[in-house]
Chains A and B, each alone.
Chain A
Amino acid sequence: MSELLRHPGLLLIAGALVLPWLRGTARGGAVIVLPLAALVLVWGLPDGALAQVRFLDYTLTPLEGGRLGRLFATIFALMAFGGGLFALRQPSRVEVPAAFVYAGSAIGVALAGDLVTVFVFWELMAVGSTLVLWSHGTRPSWHASQRYLMIHLLGGMLVFAGVTGHIAQTGSVAFVAMKADSAAHWLLLAGFLLNAGAPPLSAWLPDAYPEASWSGMVFLSAFTTKTAVYVLLRGFPGTELLVWIGFFMVFYGIVYALLENDMRRILAYSIVNQVGFMLVGIGIGTEMALNGAAAHAFTHIIYKALLLMSAGSVLLMTGRRKCSELGGLYRSMPLTTICGSIGALAISAFPLTSGFVSKSMVTQAATDQGMMTAWLLLTAASAGVFLHAGIKFPWFVFFQKDSGLRPADPPSSMRWAMILFAFLCIALGVWPDPLYRLLPYPVDYVPYTAPHVVTQTQLLLFSGLAFFLLLPLLKRTPTITLDVDWIYRRPLTWAVRAVGRSLALVREAAAGAAMATFDRVRGGVRGYVMRHGGLAQTSPIGSMALWVLVLLLAYLVLYYV
């Protein structure tokens, strides 16, 4: 058990429980130091099973070192650090501790050696993330968190059913690579995919995340979907279905983001789009593809957090979130504009940014396998990413028309968080070797070749041309776009209310009928026993003697019959 003391995830969770009682410098210091301590612990973990616990008939391995787990635990700890720094001025005393429980649980999943541990941390993640949403304290965030929790409890049930089924079939709790070949494994796959934002229930993500606070969404963007990518990488590599689910997510994200007006919801759809790329890589399943998916998860967490930090800064400083009400902020928020644009270039995989060195591995894997359709779709999708996140987000928020707003850049802790993550986006793009060394398989790939740089620049710049040529078609309107969540927010809600109303009617009718019957019976009884009732009257002796005589005669007759 004492080995668990060096579990980086448990350290963050334990720290999160102390945080709400700290104030001022002590609190700020703890927010900064805890994730760094977790990072140090992650890097001190050797390979193999590091802690074992008996539970029922099974030996659990709550802490296990390995290449893939270390990669994800590293980025989760780094994200907790960057997010904590960005959220230092967050007045809510619940949000950052909840986010640390959330981050710690994500690290717990990454370092889990068995499926039971995965499930426990999986559910803790749902609790932490719901608390991050709740802590915002607005009505929309309360409603969104209820829908969010409902979907994630469903996902948790799927995972639980899958895990128990897997244990019943194999007798082992070990988390090893599986195939989608039994009901239990399908359930597990469905539960994992639900958290990845896969269809049909992907709407939970763009519905809930943008309702978090200016700092809350930075945390939310990182852990749930990327933990799902991690368990899919580990549990279902090479499952071809994931390629097609991934492509659906890629284009769903682009199309919905193109239609969206809320700046942070654009970025939420973009998360689904980016996780789609990772799923395609996992589905292709070669070492190059799996490396690509893992690397892309790593770089994505950084640039998506950076994009959301810039959006969060705009939200905090202007109080507005709709593109139709923003614009022209480059004049007074130069640093936020530059950092947001660096994030936008990185997500678009421009040469010299982190996206370029990670996404191209997935494309390369499709090429190596001779998958021309997949390659064409990936190329079109890369163009589409530049369109919806690379240009649309910065253009409508920081440039386009002058909204007349002149907010300043945000306070220094937020600026430093953005500068740090912008630096990482460029550093990983210029010098990808440290990232490549962390990947699960040996990397035999050089991203910077002349043809690759030329073709990628061509693709992106001409996508940019398409954006500006078709700008009239992209004009912002104060609208939302219906998604699958419509089903449970409208017809299902109506159906539940209608059933409730009918039941109330039935209950009323039944109660009315019962009362009427009761009244009749009572009336009847009263008729006999109360004043003037037959049983309540005094009878003359004579009539009584007559009835006794009748009874005795009847007795006599019956006796002889």
Chain B
Amino acid sequence: MPEPHWLDRPGNVRLIWRGFIVVLALTVMVEPLVDLHPHFAVEALFGFHAWFGLLSCAAMIVGAKALGALLKRRDSYYGEGERDE
């Protein structure tokens, strides 16, 4: 049995998640230390880019899902069957 890839060990994946959350928190907490000189009033709200990014992504995913319910078809729809090489 070959040594599993370091990304395949559950412990490492947990570690990456923890690191990710720490970095997320850091990017927001560093805000007071940086002069953001906002151009628009909304930009001055605390952690604007964090929550705006999160919410707009959620909106796009849900929006895509809704459009998909209407426009999704099986990939054999146009009758060209298997598209593989």
Contacts and interface: CB of A to CB of B under 8 A. Distances in A.
B64 A258 contact: yes
A350 B75 CA distance: 33
Contacts of A474: 61
Contact of B52 (A379, A454, A483): A379
B27 A330 contact: no
A473 B61 contact: yes
A290 B54 CA distance: 29
Interface stretch (A68-76, A135-143, A498-506, A535-543): A135-143
Contacts of B80: 139-140, 143
B74 A321 contact: no
B12 to A, nearest CB: 13
B5 A330 contact: yes
Residue of B40, B48, B60, B67 most packed against chain A (CB within 10 A): B60
A478 interface: yes
Contact of A450 (B5, B34, B56): B34
Contacts, number: 151
* Contact residues on A (Cβ < 8 Å of other chain), bracket: 35 or more
* Contact residues on B (Cβ < 8 Å of other chain), bracket: 35 or more
Nearest to A259: B68
A120 interface: no
Contact of B47 (A139, A261, A457, A458): A458
Contacts of A251: 60
Contacts of B27: 454, 457-458, 461
Interface string A101-130: 000000000000000000000000000000
Interface string A250-279: 010011101101100000000000000000
Contacts of A464: 20
A430 interface: no
A480 interface: yes
A168 to B, nearest CB: 42
Contacts of B63: 255
A376 B84 CA distance: 40
A464 B31 CA distance: 19
A260 to B, nearest CB: 10
Nearest to B55: A466
B1 interface: no
A514 to B, nearest CB: 38
Contacts of A25: none
A463 B54 contact: yes
Residue of A451, A467, A474 most packed against chain B (CB within 10 A): A451
A480 B53 contact: no
A91 interface: no
Contact of B58 (A372, A461, A470): A470
Given A458-B28, A458-B47, A481-B71, A321 B83 contact: yes
Given A465-B24, A470-B58, A477 B72 contact: yes
B80 to A, nearest CB: 5
Contacts of B48: 455
Given A384-B60, A461-B27, 12 more contacts: A139-B80, A254-B60, A258-B64, A330-B5, A331-B8, A372-B40, A376-B52, A384-B56, A454-B27, A459-B52, A463-B57, A479-B74
Q: Lowest 3 CB-CB distances: which A-B pairs, in order? A: A466-B57, A380-B56, A458-B49
8 contacts: A259-B67, A383-B56, A384-B56, A450-B34, A454-B34, A466-B61, A479-B72, A481-B71
